[in-house]
Amino acid sequence: MITLIPGALFLFAVLGVVEVASRTGIVNGAVIPPPSMVAMIFLQIVTSGAFVAPLLQTLELLFAGYLTGCGLALLCGILMGSFRPVYNLFEPLTELLRPIPKPALLPALILFLGLGSTMKVTVVALAAFFPVLINTIQGTRSVDVTMIDTARTFGYGKAQILWRIVLPAAAPYYLAGMRVSLAIGLVVIVMAEMLTSNGGVGATLIDMQHEFKVRQTYGWLAVLALTGFSLNALFTWIERRLTFWSAS
Amino acid sequence: MTGNRRAFLAALTLPMIAARASAAELTRLRVGAIAITDCAPFFAALQQGSFASNGLDVVTESETGGALGIPAVVAGAYDIVYTNLPSALLAIQQGIDLRFIAGGSPLNPPDTTGLLIRHGDAMRTGKDFEGKVIGINDTRGLQWMYARGWIKATGGDQDKVTYRAVSFPQMSDAVKNKYVDGIIPSEPFLSLNRSDPTLDLIASPGRTVFPKGRVAAWVVSGDFATRHADLVRKFVVAMDKGSQWVNANLNTPAFAQFIAGYTKLDVARVATLAKGPTSVGISASDVRRMADLMRANGLLTTAIDPVTKIAVPR
Amino acid sequence: MTSRAAGIVLVLALLALWEGSVRFGLVHSANWPAFSTVLGALYQNVMDGALLTVIGSSMWRMLCGYALGSIVGVSVGLAIALYRPVRLALEPTIELLRPVPITALVPALIFVFGLDDRLKIVCVAVATFFPVVVNTVSGAATVDPIYLQVTRTFGIPRSMAIRRVVLPAALPFILAGLRTSLAIALVVTVIAEMLAGQQGIGYYLVSMQYALRAPEMYAAIILLTMVAYTLNRLFLMWESRLIRWARTRELEA
């Protein structure tokens, strides 16, 4: 706890400077509001429960897309990492699709999938897919061949080798990928919501911005920051539970 | 298309080069505009060198959205910006100091927006739309107010209709694929969708709700209006010249080339856009009408005295 | 057929499917032009220079922001890893700010930075900063503290210790961070330009849509993809060369 003090002091010092600058007019107070006002609005958003509905929608779509994307990526990654022919078959395609900035795909996605949940889940899944795929391929390849051979001599079937050797051994890799995908997924879902304005935190942000409610915008950004922070902490907790056996 | 752009750039630069040759007395003015037909007087003034001959070196950038100009003016990135009127009033409501110096001119008659549905669907009045979804560009924006007003005016309960945000280019896809039941596009998407046999135009909500109303304006910060009233005057005089050119050339082929040049639309498509005479004035009653419309829809909750916000040079 | 060839055939088959969906009337939309039309637009726009200028200006902005974010990221990362007070002071703030999607900040930042290059460079720099700083800290942390103590005992100045011991050890991690940031930088540049307009490929994508020129929009996406792919490849080449250089330096030290 004591170690948090320097960090807290630093944070409050920075906020203090902004507060003074904003209130005295050194910076335009209508544009960079005093942190104290933002804090009040943030508390209001939280205590009034206004954050619940949009946040739930955002998280719902995020998880749906994220889990889909990661699941598919794990599957494809293991297949591509284990079997050269499979890798060669899909590598040109994935190398072509990976660099496409996903927001550029939105018009096509909206055409085929509409403006609702399906489209948003898909775009999140697409964005989450590639980091996990790359990392899973790398992780699968890094599995010590002797381990697999040993397992085979013990009569392990393909499925068992996969479940008991490959998956755990590749875990550090694909978990790292999944962490990156979580951050990317959050960015993408917020962006999709900002562009389609149909509920969710992103849509709320855009609404606040349209009405030039700058303080509310920062209040909701604080909600978003806290959400991302919590998601990351949650991920770390889950990751630790899953990999307790590996020495770091 | 390439030819258009080259010709247009040449036409733009010639007067500018001439102006620069004559000189140092030009004051730089940074203007944010949008490459749409509504800004025709501005681009016409630019092309004809009206700004230069009024002592202004106008540096312009085009934005993607109608309301992006306002934050940019606040940030000091622009001196003058084109924006839609509801956004400007919302900004004023939040304490941002803006003044209106000229009106955004509808190039077309008030039918720049229309309500379209799938061919064969039976909706004709607001009542028919209850329980259905209408796609509009900006939730809680101008078309949203048009939609609500039209629904109410034609016997429907405006709160029983769902309004979904769809960007203009996606509107025809959205309605054809049944993500929404009706769309309210603006030009050039209005004429594009009108000519589509699978879509029917059933109403002009803009005309019903806000006939002959000013929906956009050129704004500056209050600070700028006070300190640089002379520049504002010169800008508006030049814009007026631009608007006169537009009115004089409305039906000439050069006009279509001109519009195609800066909007990057196809020349053939420009020819299909409905056109009408334009003007760049703005009055307190223009602003008051919009404020009343917004108040009726719950967007404006504070009192704004339009007269104090007009900074049109005399 | 070798599986390598099969991979390319797969891509071609999908492109044929795209073309077919339009030619055979399966999909009918202004937003879904035929692949051949897109190729035509791509050829024409590259030839008359329009697309290349647009992409060039975006790349310029991206690289400026990327350089800024990387330099600050590595510096701050090293400072955090080497000096405990710095870590205690900065880490909580960084952890709090890191999860905020930069795209959500863009509209708010317009009020401060306007709409020009400044805004986009700042956004890219901020987006680049976080992965770089995190990776730099991780990388520097792999250095056994014993090595640093040894350098201190022998009176070797800190700066040299950093150059000869910490940096080479942290290099693979830093490079991984820089590679991730490169991809992020590109996406953020495009998004910032889409949201805050004016020039660049993001603005081009949106304005082509509004100008009813979907083929141009897809052509730009294709070009963008090729650029991103090339950048990634170039980075990988540079990275392997750098690692080889660092290994030799490390051996020398």
pLDDT at B134: 92
Is residue A207 assigned to a domain? yes
| C246 shares its domain with C213 | yes
What would the pLDDT profile of C43-63 be if each residue is shown by its tens digit? 888 888 888 888 899 999 999
Instruction: Write out chain A residues lying below 8 Å of C3, CB-based.
Output: 84-89
Q: For chain A, say whether C1 makes contact (Cβ under 8 Å).
A: no
What would the pLDDT profile of A140-159 be if each residue is shown by its tens digit? 888 877 877 888 888 877 77
**Residues B212-238, mean pLDDT to the nearest whole number:** 88
| B83 shares its domain with B119 | no
User: CA B28 from chain center: how many Å?
Assistant: 24
Is residue A41 assigned to a domain? yes
pLDDT at A58: 94
pLDDT exceeds 70 at position B66: no
| A42 shares its domain with A10 | no
Of chain C residues 73-132, which have a CB less than 8 A from chain A?
A: 85, 88-93, 95-105, 107-108, 111-112
Highest mean pLDDT of the ranges A53-62, A84-93, B26-35, B244-253? A53-62
What would the pLDDT profile of B279-298 be if each residue is shown by its tens digit? 888 888 888 888 999 998 88
**C44 contacts B2? CB cut-off 8 A:** yes
| A28 shares its domain with A54 | no
| C141 shares its domain with C235 | yes
Q: Which of B67, B169, B101, C1 is nearest to A110 (CA)?
A: B169
The token duo for C235 is 């980075």
CA dihedral A111, A112, A116, A120 (to 10 degrees): -100
| A79 shares its domain with A91 | yes
pTM flag (> 0.95): no
pLDDT exceeds 50 at position B21: no
| C23 shares its domain with C113 | no
Query: Would you say B114 and B190 are in contact if contact means Cβ atoms under 8 Å apart?
Result: yes
| A21 shares its domain with A40 | no
pLDDT at A92: 84
pLDDT at A71: 94
pLDDT at B76: 82
| A98 shares its domain with A160 | yes
pLDDT at C59: 92
Q: Which of B311, B263, B306 is nearest to B1 (CA)?
A: B263
Is residue A5 assigned to a domain? yes
**Other CB atoms closer than 10 Å to residue B95's CB: what's the count?**
11
Of chain A residues 106-165, which have a CB less than 8 A from chain C?
A: 107-108, 110-112
| B104 shares its domain with B122 | no
The token duo for C97 is 């700010």
User: CA A195 from chain center: how many Å?
Assistant: 18
| B65 shares its domain with B135 | no
Domain containing B65 — which CATH number? 3.40.190.10
Q: For chain B, say whether C208 makes contact (Cβ under 8 Å).
A: yes
**Residue tagged 């080479």 (tokens):** C168
Domain that holds residue B189: 115-209
Quote the number of domains for chain C: 2
Domain containing C149 — which CATH number? 1.10.3720.10
| C114 shares its domain with C217 | yes
| C146 shares its domain with C201 | yes
What would the pLDDT profile of B200-221 be if each residue is shown by its tens digit? 889 888 888 888 778 888 999 8
What does the alpha-carbon distance between residue C111 and residue C229 come to, in Å, rounded to a whole number? 34
Domain that holds residue A25: 1-32
| A94 shares its domain with A169 | yes
| CA distance, residue B52 to nearest chain C CA (Å) | 23
| C94 shares its domain with C12 | no
| A23 shares its domain with A130 | no
pLDDT exceeds 80 at position B119: yes
| B122 shares its domain with B185 | yes
| A198 shares its domain with A104 | yes
**B96 contacts A198? CB cut-off 8 A:** no
What does the alpha-carbon distance between residue B171 and residue B199 come to, in Å, rounded to a whole number? 11
Chain C residue with CA closest to A205: the answer is C104
Q: State the pLDDT confidence band at B109, using cuts at 50, 70 and 90.
A: low
| A44 shares its domain with A101 | yes
Which residues in chain A show pLDDT less than 50? Answer: 247-248
| B45 shares its domain with B98 | yes
Chain B residue with CA closest to A211: the answer is B90
Please give the average pLDDT of every successive group of 10 residues along chain C, which has 253 residues.
Answer: 80 90 82 88 86 89 94 91 85 84 83 85 93 86 77 77 76 83 87 82 84 86 86 86 74 60
| C173 shares its domain with C240 | yes
pLDDT exceeds 80 at position B275: no
| A5 shares its domain with A40 | no
Is residue B314 assigned to a domain? no
Quote the number of domains for chain B: 2
Is residue B302 assigned to a domain? yes
| CA distance, residue C153 to nearest chain A CA (Å) | 28
pLDDT exceeds 50 at position B224: yes
What would the pLDDT profile of B295-310 be if each residue is shown by its tens digit? 988 888 888 887 777 7
Is residue A71 assigned to a domain? yes
| C3 shares its domain with C124 | no
- B43-to-B12, B190, B267, B276 alpha-carbon distances in Å: 9, 22, 16, 17
Is residue A248 assigned to a domain? no
| C128 shares its domain with C214 | yes
Q: Which of C135, C146, C130, C134 is nearest to C170 (CA)?
A: C135
What does the alpha-carbon distance between residue B128 and residue A51 come to, in Å, rounded to a whole number? 34
| C167 shares its domain with C188 | yes
HEC sequence for chain B:
CHHHHHHHHHHHHHHHHHHHHHCCCCEEEEEEECCCHHHHHHHHHHHHCHHHHCCEEEEEEECCCCCCHHHHHHHCCCCEEEEEHHHHHHHHHCCCCEEEEEECCCCCCCCCECEEEECCCCCCCHHHHCCCEEEECCCCCHHHHHHHHHHHHCCCCHHHCEEEECCHHHHHHHHHCCCCCEECCECCHHHHHHCCCCEEEEECHHHHHCCCCCCEEEEEEHHHHHHCHHHHHHHHHHHHHHHHHHHHHCCCHHHHHHHHHHHCCCHHHHHHCCCCCCCCCCCHHHHHHHHHHHHHCCCCCCCCCHHHHECCCC
Burial B256-279 (b: 16+ CB within 10 A, else e): bbbbbbbbbbbeebbebbbbeebb
pLDDT exceeds 80 at position B22: no
| C126 shares its domain with C237 | yes
Is residue A247 assigned to a domain? no
What would the pLDDT profile of B141-196 be if each residue is shown by its tens digit? 888 999 999 999 998 888 899 888 888 888 888 888 888 999 999 877 888 888 88
pLDDT at B1: 42
Q: State the pLDDT confidence band at B7, using cuts at 50, 70 and 90.
A: low
pLDDT at A1: 62
**A198 contacts B94? CB cut-off 8 A:** no
| CA distance, residue C31 to nearest chain A CA (Å) | 7
The number of residues in chain C equals 253
| C44 shares its domain with C159 | yes
Domain that holds residue C162: 33-252
HEC sequence for C101-125:
CHHHHHHHHHHHHCCCHHHHHHHHH
Determine which helix (DSSP H) or strand (DSSP E) holds A53, and give its type and residue range: helix A52-82
Quote the number of domains for chain A: 2
Is residue B166 assigned to a domain? yes
**Interface confidence (ipTM) of the complex:** 0.79
Domain containing A79 — which CATH number? 1.10.3720.10
Of C95, C112, C229, the CB nearest to A95: C229
Of C110, C199, C210, the CB nearest to B75: C110
| A18 shares its domain with A80 | no
Domain C-terminal end among B191, B209, B227 = B209
| A3 shares its domain with A117 | no
**C107 contacts A205? CB cut-off 8 A:** yes
What does the alpha-carbon distance between residue C38 and residue C49 come to, in Å, rounded to a whole number? 16
